[in-house]
Amino acid sequence: MAYSEKVMDHFEHPRNVGEIENPSGVGTVGNAKCGDIMRIYLDIDDNQVIQDVKFKTFGCGAAVATSSMATELVKGKTVEEALGVTNKAVMEALDGLPPVKVHCSLLAEEAIHAALWDYAEKHNLKIEGLEKPKSDIHEDEEEEEEEY
Ligand code: FES
């Protein structure tokens, strides 16, 4: 299986790894095929421009490379523009992925959508064209610990 130089570069030196404290939106999605998980944090300003983005991926190399590239592509974009960062756009920017790894790139697109969805919900906004990803893993942060 041959990976492009760009995929290898983003896999070995992923950009924007980490978390954002008090993010405007956070999205966690899971890949049903392999069980890998990706989380994306967005910091969005009052003009709906993505000022910062960070990710964490518990997944394969292609998932790491695509999340890294996806974060680079949405940074500085408006929320509306970020919706145009599809898995196809991410793959093109990486000079392609082997066919068996194409599903991995969907995780990045869906994590961005899940984070935008969270942002829209928190701010009572409707973002044209945004749908809640099916792979969204909603985590209830208020969840109370069970007592025995
Ligand atoms: Fe799971 Fe790539 S094999 S995301």
In a domain, 13, yes or no: yes
Q: What is the pLDDT of residues 35-44, one digit of tens each?
A: 999 999 999 9
The verdict on the CB of residue 36 being under 6 Å from ligand 1 is yes
Q: What is the pLDDT of residues 80-134, one digit of tens each?
A: 999 999 999 999 999 999 999 998 999 999 999 999 999 999 999 998 899 888 8
Q: Structurally, how many domains does the chain consist of?
A: 1
In a domain, 102, yes or no: yes
In a domain, 135, yes or no: no
Alpha-carbon gap, residue 86 to 1, rounded angstroms: 23
104 is catalytic: yes
The verdict on the CB of residue 29 being under 6 Å from ligand 1 is no
Given 104, 107, 112, 116, the catalytic residue: 104
Task: Residue 107: give the domain boundaries.
Answer: 5-129
- Across 52-91, b (16+ Cβ under 10 Å) vs e yields bbbbbbebbbbbbbbbbbbbbbbbebebeebbebbbeebb
**Cβ contact 44:50 at 8 Å:** yes
Residue 140 has pLDDT above 60, yes or no: no
Here the ipTM equals 0.96
60 is catalytic: no
Q: Which of 70, 84, 72 is nearest to 127 (CA)?
A: 84
Its pTM stands at 0.90
Task: Indicate the SS3 state at residue 23.
Answer: coil
In a domain, 92, yes or no: yes
- Tokens representing 108 are 């990045």
Any idea what the CATH number is for the domain that residue 36 is in?
Answer: 3.90.1010.10
In a domain, 134, yes or no: no
Residue 141 has pLDDT above 50, yes or no: no
Res 60: pLDDT: 93
In a domain, 84, yes or no: yes
In a domain, 85, yes or no: yes
